[in-house]
Structure 1
């Protein structure tokens, strides 16, 4: 009985050993003989590697983009703060600055010193308006130009006298010519006080004639 038990144990152990070792050998044979399995395994691994690399690249690019945006936003806020600070400084300087003292024009020693100077710009506007109303539709006639210039000079002196300060003498000179002839140039030269005296020149022209007016304002002490 003891011998039979030992033989049975040996048989059972052999059976269990064979049963446990056969599936492992069959799996090893299938792996070695199956060409598709050997080809499929390396094909899957690169795909997994490429996907992981793409995910890493996207993460890296996203991190770099977000970092660039953050730096740009910080730079923009810094510039805005600097501008606001500069504006505040300029406003504070303008508010706290001392008033500017304007130095009056000094009168030369040998010149006259009128209380009010001759209004050259205002006189020029008045003469231009007067010539436009009087000579807008006036045709050129050499026979009537002499009397026309005399009348216009008297009218201009009356108009200018209304806005001229006291103690000023007025001299009016006028020239009228035809536009169909050659051009002319009107010049003048005189000896006077450049500080107190002044001159106004105006010109006007229509289809047939041109007119040049000179008004001298000489201060008399």
Structure 2
């Protein structure tokens, strides 16, 4: 192997000096809830609870992927997005889903979507964390 074949290409990135996203590139709770609620409702309307773990796992993964695709359309380049989906059988029980996170309150946020039918309930939490 000759020296000519071992050429290394270096990419030099210039600093942007951006410490905050512009207003159109911010993760906002209201926008995320408005954009993603119809996706969850459309997917789950008419679905019923199954005692088979695989069916419920597939439903949860599908909802998570659909929501993640919609969030990616917003082009939030510098945000780490986390989508957490919970699905359960509706037997008129009370369920509370809580999460705890430390973040920069001016840049980071979370959105929550709830769906309840006669057969099942679903809670989707979308967390957007700004990466400096």
Same fold, judged at TM 0.5 (above): yes
1:172-214 deviation per Cα after TM superposition (whole angstroms, max 9, x unaligned)? 0011111115221000001111111110001011110010000
Distance 1:173 1:158 in 2: 14
Secondary structure at the aligned position of 1:131 is classed as helix
Distance 1:207 1:134 in 2: 15
Question: Which of structures 1 and 2 has the larger relative contact order (alpha carbons within 8 angstroms, sep 6+)?
Answer: 2
Q: What is residue 113 of structure 1 aligned with on the other side?
A: 20
Q: 2:113 aligned to 189, 202, 205, which one?
A: 202
Distance 2:88 2:29 in 1: 25
Question: How does the TM-score come out when normalised to structure 1?
Answer: 0.47
Q: What 5-or-longer segments of structure 2 have no aligned partner? A: 1-18
- Superposed displacement of residue 164, structure 1: 4.2
Q: What is residue 124 of structure 2 aligned with on the other side?
A: 213
Q: What is residue 129 of structure 1 aligned with on the other side?
A: 38
Q: Which structure has the highest strand share of the two?
A: 2
Q: Detail structure 1 runs of 4+ shifted over 4 Å in the superposition.
A: none
Q: What 5-or-longer segments of structure 1 have no aligned partner? A: 1-111
**Does the 8 A contact of 1:169 with 1:218 survive in 2?**
yes
1:81-108 deviation per Cα after TM superposition (whole angstroms, max 9, x unaligned)? xxxxxxxxxxxxxxxxxxxxxxxxxxxx
**Does the 8 A contact of 1:177 with 1:211 survive in 2?**
yes
Q: 1:189 aligned to 76, 100, 117, which one?
A: 100
Evaluate the alpha carbon distance shift between residue 151 and residue 114 of structure 1 in structure 2; reply closer, same or farther with a 3 A threshold: same
Q: What is residue 91 of structure 2 aligned with on the other side?
A: 180
**Does the 8 A contact of 1:120 with 1:198 survive in 2?**
yes
Distance 2:107 2:31 in 1: 17
**Does the 8 A contact of 1:196 with 1:219 survive in 2?**
yes
Tell me how large the CA RMSD over aligned residues is: 1.4
Q: What is residue 68 of structure 2 aligned with on the other side?
A: 157
1:99-126 deviation per Cα after TM superposition (whole angstroms, max 9, x unaligned)? xxxxxxxxxxxxx522232132121012
**Structure whose alpha-carbon radius of gyration is higher:** 1
